[in-house]
Chain A
Amino acid sequence: MSRPGDIQTPPAVELHDLTVAYHKKPVLWDIDLAIPEGEMVGIIGPNGAGKSTLIKAVLGLVPAATGWVRVFGESYASRRREVGYVPQRESVDWDFPVSALDVVLMGTYGRLGWCRRPGAAERKQALGALERVGMQDFARRQISQLSGGQQQRVFLARALAQNARLYLMDEPFAGVDAATETAIVNVLRDLKQQGRTLLVVHHDLQTVEGYFDRVVLVNLRLVAAGPTREVFTRDNLLATYGGRLTILDQAAETVRRFEDWLPQTGAEPPHSAARAAAPQRLLSPPGAPPPAQPQHGAAPQAARRPPGENHALP
């Protein structure tokens, strides 16, 4: 795991002083962040907080107004073969005339280069990716005939076909059925086991502690980032969601129920002890665990460090 000043293993993703603006209105402001390699990291925040924009800024899909992004210590452009992307499901037209296999094959296009068509090897790889998400029987199916959850799994399979070291995923769990949620979680855990890094935009507070080793809390600015057990606290969530307590209470109420079904997903979830303590901790009075209190509305952890030095996740 990388620390500030550690140059041997650059973080998988590093953002410095990143500001993104649409028509002069900032959507992400002054983000300093480093994601260590091999972790499963959730990006959490309310609607419109800039979660997707954060991912798109890493991928170069939205231009940075200031600051820079590095992937494995270099520019994104020189490392793009090592990055896989799962966009939001709504970002494409699912009535497009292609089959599930066609979509997954698109994950191999980058390696193929200009004008070469996918051959038997790519086909085999794509079918393997479909099998990993439990969709092998739907390879020939036209994508408009798939359910929302199945479409999401096809998108994940396409990212698997990219065979990347770093995966950026935009809301892969939004509006999916139980079978899909289980299938996706299992795949993500597999990827983590293989040492891949996962940066996942997530909207469902109830499942955060079960899924992610680390979280990044954003709402225009970076509120906090670090190991879930330290950072996913009531105070930080209050700072992120601006006191919308109902959401937190819903979270506390459902965390228990959710954890009960989690073990069936197969792999033993990490931080079981932390998860078991989750509901109590969520409801504990402020000040108990180390919360990152925002001072001036800027990224609090970065503010405490000397200027110019990036802060890694603790």
Chain B
Amino acid sequence: MPFLEYNTAIVLGGTTLLGFASGVIGVLGLLRRRALLGDALAHATLPGICLAFLLFGRQFGALLFGALVTGIAGVALVALLSRYTRIKEDANIGIVLSVFFGGGLALSTYIQKNSVDAAQAGINGFILGRTAGMVQADLIFICTAAVAVCFVVLLFYKEFKLLCFDPDFAAVEGWPVVRLDFLLMLLLAVTVVIGLPAVGIVLMVAMLIVPPAAARFWVAGLAPMMWLAGAFGALTGAAGSLTSTYAADLPAGPVIVLCGSALFLISLLFAPRRGILARARDRRRWRKRRAIRGFLRILYEASEAALPERAALPIADLLGRFPGRAREAEALVAHAARAGWLERAESEERAALRRSAPRAAAAAEGDDAVRLTAAGLQKAAEAARIHRLWQHYLRTSAHIDRDIVDPDAEEIESILPRAVLAQLEEDLKNAGTLPGGGAPVRALAGLPRELAT
């Protein structure tokens, strides 16, 4: 026996292609916020499948056509209810999904009781997904539909991109937004319907959502996102069908979803930049930067009274001024020393102690004070300046534009209008609280004369 039987190879090819198509179209569904609508669509197909079975018997094409009809009817009903009632869309999705699926289940039970042939396999396979029963003709049908879906997406890529990003702008430009939305819905419906035999009604929505959501973690462009989602979809489809074929009675749907979930979990955790770990690292770094700037400001404030002399700052005093835990403050002192902003110094008490009782002073270990270096003073003054300018801006002018206030921005000059900044600095200078000794600030360069003076 070859590694892959002929039929298995076909099933594998079909589910791979199906996974690719659903990944690609799922990207558009996700970006157009139609994810849950896809779920309603999938569930609304069951009554159609049952009715088609009652009318035509177990003919693959007829069953899928029935599924497509009631699936689209379900989505249309959601749209109508949302438009003509005050019920919100999420509730409408729930209503349609449960009513259609409930009706479908009742019908399928009726079929099981009254039909003697392989009805059970035919219908129940659609609910949870079952690739084993497929024949070559079915698979050719699925493959054709999947390729067609991808082709239409390729053809209207530009239009769909605009529709999903900014539908109002699309409408203003004369694009038929409603018809494009319908086309997108139709593509989603076709994908769902051809996925039903393999993945099943209950879990089909996962094929539409999980690969795109996982892909978004890794890439930042629409086309790359579609390719990657397609690849993820293909991978899960292939893995699911292989497992389902070789691991006997395991239905394909759950296996496919589990494979997809694994991919999603990996993306969620480890993706650079958007992954949870990367974000946690970024947040940690941001906090550290913030803490350092806050600490620099404290150093400036502690030194301010004695300026231009750089006073010795008792470490105990600094720790007292720091709002956080003592351990953090110690780490910050160490960091500032490593950066060359602080040098060792001796507090006045210690100096006095050393003069009066040299032996006792020597017994006290280490230095008990620090002093800003010249470079450190510059850094600290800048941190204090920005802090005070923002504080003053918030106090006096924040009604103008609260949105642009960013107390952590290094470059206040690029955010506030120069004249506003000059006024703030003028105010602080007059109050004698402008760090940097009232020296002319960079922002004043290029100002009209009457303002600069």
Interface residues of A (CB under 8 A from B): 59-61, 77, 80, 83, 85, 87, 91-93, 96-99, 102-103, 106, 109-110, 112, 114-118, 142, 144, 148-149, 158, 174-179, 181, 204, 206, 250, 254, 257-258, 260-261, 263-264
Do A260 and B448 touch across chains, with their CB atoms under 8 A apart?
yes
From B166, B168, B400, B448, A263 is in contact (CB under 8 Å) with: B448
B404 touches A106 (CB 8 A): no
Q: Assuming A97-B219, A115-B156, A174-B403, is B418 touching A106 (CB within 8 A)?
A: no
Q: Which residues of A contact B400 (CB under 8 A)?
A: 204, 206, 254
- C-alpha spacing A264/B443, complex, angstroms: 13
Contact indicator B451/A175 (Cβ below 8 Å): no
Cβ of B159 < 8 Å from any Cβ of A? yes
State the CA gap A93–B32 with chains docked (Å). 10
CA distance A175 to B405 in the complex (A): 9
Residue of B nearest to A181 (CB): B417
Question: By the criterion CB–CB under 8 Å, are B162 and A264 in contact?
Answer: no
Interface string of B30-46 (1 = CB under 8 A from A): 01000000000000000
Scoring A97, A106, A158 by chain B CB atoms within 10 A of each residue's CB, the highest score goes to A97
In the bound complex, residues from chain A placing their C-beta under 8 Å from that of B224 are 97
Q: How many chain-B residues does the 8 Å CB contact rule pick out?
A: 44
Q: What separation, in Å, do the CA atoms of A26 and B173 have in the docked complex?
A: 26
Are A112 and B403 neighbours in the complex by a CB distance under 8 Å? no
Q: With an 8 A cutoff between CB atoms, is B415 at the interface?
A: yes
Q: Known contacts A92-B166, A98-B165, A103-B165; can you find 11 more A-B pairs with CB under 8 A? A: A80-B174, A91-B168, A106-B165, A109-B162, A110-B173, A114-B156, A149-B404, A175-B403, A177-B414, A261-B417, A261-B419
Once A97-B222, A98-B165, A181-B417 are accepted as A-B contacts, the answer to whether A257 and B31 lie under 8 Å apart by CB is: no
B219–A178 CB distance below 8 A: no
Proximity bits, B141-172, A CB within 8 Å = 1, else 0: 00000000000000111110110111011011
A99 to B446, alpha carbons, bound, how many Å?
Answer: 34
The 8 closest A-B pairs by CB, nearest first: A175-B403, A261-B419, A110-B173, A142-B220, A178-B417, A177-B415, A85-B172, A59-B172
Q: A137 to chain B: closest CB distance in Å?
A: 14
Q: How far is the CA of A204 from the CA of B401 in the complex (A)?
A: 9
Q: Which residues of B contact A254 (CB under 8 A)?
A: 397, 400
> Nearest chain B CB to A153's CB is how many angstroms away?
14
- Distance of B300 from chain A, by nearest CB (Å): 26
Any chain A CB within 8 A of the CB of B105?
Answer: no
Q: B174, A175: Cβ atoms under 8 Å?
A: no
Complex Cα distance, B452 from A261, in Å, reads: 11
Question: Which residues of B have CB within 8 Å of A61?
Answer: 168, 171-172
What are the interface flags for B403-427 relative to A under an 8 Å C-beta threshold, 1 for contact and 0 otherwise? 1100000000011111110010000
Pairs A–B under 8 Å by Cβ, sample size 12: A59-B171, A83-B172, A97-B219, A98-B222, A102-B161, A109-B158, A110-B174, A115-B156, A142-B221, A175-B403, A258-B419, A260-B448
Measured in the bound complex, the distance between the Cα atoms of B300 and A228 in whole Å is 49
A142 to B156, CA, bound (A): 22
Contact residues in A for B451 (Cβ distance below 8 Å): 260-261
Is the beta-carbon distance between B418 and A264 smaller than 8 angstroms?
yes
Contact A179 B419, beta carbon cutoff 8 Å:
no
Residues of B within 8 A of A204 (CB): 400
* Chain B residues within 8 Å of A80, by CB: 172-174
Q: Are B420 and A97 in contact (CB under 8 A)?
A: no
Q: Which residues of A contact B155 (CB under 8 A)?
A: 115
B448 and chain A: residue at smallest CB distance = A263
| Chain B stretch 154-205: residues in CB contact (< 8 A) with chain A | 155-159, 161-162, 164-166, 168-169, 171-175
**A261 lies within 8 A of B420 (CB):** yes
Against A, the Cβ 8 Å flags (1 = close, 0 = not) of B42-71 are 000000000000000000000000000000
Q: Smallest distance from the beta carbon of B228 to chain A beta carbons, Å? A: 11
| Residue of chain A at shortest CB distance from B31 | A96
Question: Is the pair A175, B404 in contact by a Cβ cutoff of 8 Å?
Answer: yes
Residue numbers in B under 8 Å from A149 (CB-CB): 404
A158 to chain B: closest residue by CB = B169
B216 within 8 A of A: yes
Q: In the complex, which residues of chain A have a beta carbon less than 8 angstroms from the beta carbon of B395? A: none
B399 at the interface (CB under 8 A from A): yes
Does B166 lie within 8 Å of A87, measured CB to CB? yes
B231 on interface, CB distance cutoff 8 Å: no
Pick the contact of A177 from B161, B219, B404 — CB < 8 Å?
A: B404
A261-B451 Cα distance, complex, nearest whole Å:
9
B243-255 vs A, CB cutoff 8 Å, 1 = contact: the mask equals 0000000000000
**Chain B residues with CB below 8 A from A91, complex form:** 166, 168
B174 in contact with A77 (CB, 8 Å): yes
Distance A97 CA – B403 CA, assembled complex (angstroms): 24
**Interface 1/0s, chain B 120-140, versus A by CB < 8 A?**
000000000000000000000
Expressed in whole angstroms, the Cα–Cα distance for A77 and B174 within the complex equals: 7
- Please name all residues of chain B whose beta carbon is closer than 8 Å to the beta carbon of A110 when the two chains form the complex: 173-174
Contact of B222 among A93, A102, A158, A176 (CB under 8 A): A102
| Known contacts A106-B169, A110-B174, A115-B156; A98/B416 CB under 8 A | no
CA of A260 to CA of B414 in the docked complex: distance in angstroms? Answer: 18
- Bound-state Cα–Cα, A116 to B161, Å: 13
Task: Flag if B220 contacts A97 (CB, 8 Å).
Answer: yes
Interface membership of B369, Cβ < 8 A: no
Chain B contacts of A83 at CB under 8 A?
172
Point out the residue from A93, A115, A257 that lies within 8 Å of B158, measured CB to CB: A115
Please report the C-alpha to C-alpha distance between residue A59 and residue B177 in the assembled complex, in whole angstroms.
14
Minimum CB–CB distance from A178 to chain B (whole Å) comes to: 4
Counting CB contacts under 8 A, is B225 at the interface? yes
Q: Is the CB of A60 within 8 A of B162?
A: no
Closest B residue, CB atoms, query A265? B417
A92 close to B403 (CB less than 8 A) = no
A115–B168 alpha-carbon span in the complex (Å): 19
A261 and B418 in contact, given A109-B158, A115-B156, A176-B404 (Cβ under 8 angstroms): yes
Contacts of B403 in A (CB 8 A): 148, 174-176
Q: Check A106 against B166 for contact (C-beta < 8 Å).
A: yes
